[in-house]
Copies of this chain bind each other. A is one copy, B any other.
Amino acid sequence: MPDFQAWTTRILKRTETALESLLPTATIAPERLHAAMRYAVLGGGKRVRPLLVHAAGEVCSAPPENLDTAACAVELIHAYSLVHDDMPCMDDDVLRRGKPTVHVQYDEATALLAGDALQTLAFRALSRAGLLADPAAQVAMVHDLAQAAGSRGMAGGQAIDLASVGRQLDRSELEFMHIHKTGALIRCAVVLGARCGSALAAADIEHLDRFGKLVGLLFQVVDDILDAEGDTATLGKTAGKDAAHDKPTYVSLLGLARSRAYAGELLDQALGEIEPLPASQRLAELARFIVHRHF
């Protein structure tokens, strides 16, 4: 088994290639829309969700080509949500990954349509004929993704997030928001990866599903910690961007020390879920990487 760093580099590279070939080239009409879609997706991003798809695929010995498609579908949903989230009527962000956001680089209408078309492209990718030998399993993948992305998943989480600005959320409300906003799609990445290979027992899928749920939450808790720490260190402020936007975070609710302890608990629980599964080392490494990526 190659080491984690080498594996990550390889998966990032093949994900970029797969996204590159899935996105229509900017020479096909409508050119501007296609250019904006490519701008939104290519050449950046941590690609956490594609990494999770591929790591989960090891548990079921999935063909890497199938995993590429599932990874692209999840990443396209993630990318569309960022494009729309950055728009003036939402978070009104002008920078993303150090580049101007799509509506700044192009215009608002193009950003709106690019986000819309990226979502559609995700479902187009996942419904490619013959992706899985078992078409019923493929239908289930489409349903999983739609469930995770929709009003009772990611889009719903964004609505709850919007409604929470300036309000005092308690811990269970904050958790409910994150389980939807970022958690649902991260969880879906794990489940889709697990569906790409040989059929797993229902109990194993459940372990992976719970692992995905825990990692989704873990990802957010760590994000809040990094946000708070980053700003404290570099700007001399005690709180970061979310706090400045008056958005509730784990750190604002629990404090740094208890947030770190909570992240540790979530990691242990997540690792416990996949321990009984064969070929789950990569998932375990990835969960640890999510916690330790910057501290």
Contacts and interface: CB of A to CB of B under 8 A. Distances in A.
A123 B140 CA distance: 11
Interface string A15-48: 0000000001000111011100100000000000
Say which size band chain A's interface belongs to: 35 or more
Interface stretch (A51-59, A148-156, A199-207): A148-156
The quantity of this chain's copies bound in the complex is 2
A151 B87 contact: no
A102 interface: no
Nearest to A138: B139
A116 B24 contact: no
Nearest to A152: B24
Q: Which of A112, A131, A158 has the most CB of B within 10 A?
A: A112
A90 B117 contact: no
A147 interface: yes
A162 B109 CA distance: 8
A135 interface: yes
Given A113-B158, A129-B143, A121 B138 contact: no
Contact of A127 (B129, B134, B143, B159): B143
A134 to B, nearest CB: 8
Question: A-side binding surface: helix, strand, loop or mixed?
Answer: helix
Interface string A117-141: 1011101101111010011101110
A152 B28 contact: yes
A89 B117 contact: no
Given A32-B163, A112-B87, A124 B147 contact: yes
Contacts of A151: 24, 30, 33-34, 37, 113, 117, 120-121
Contact of A159 (B113, B136, B145): B113
A89 B109 contact: yes
Contacts of A28: 152
A138 B129 CA distance: 10
Given A90-B109, A117-B156, A140 B149 contact: no
A108 interface: yes
Nearest to A160: B30
B123 A123 contact: yes
A115 interface: yes
Interface of A: 24, 28-30, 32-34, 37, 80-81, 84, 87, 89-90, 107-110, 112-113, 115-117, 119-121, 123-124, 126-129, 131, 134-136, 138-140, 142-143, 145-147, 149-152, 155-156, 158-160, 162-163, 176
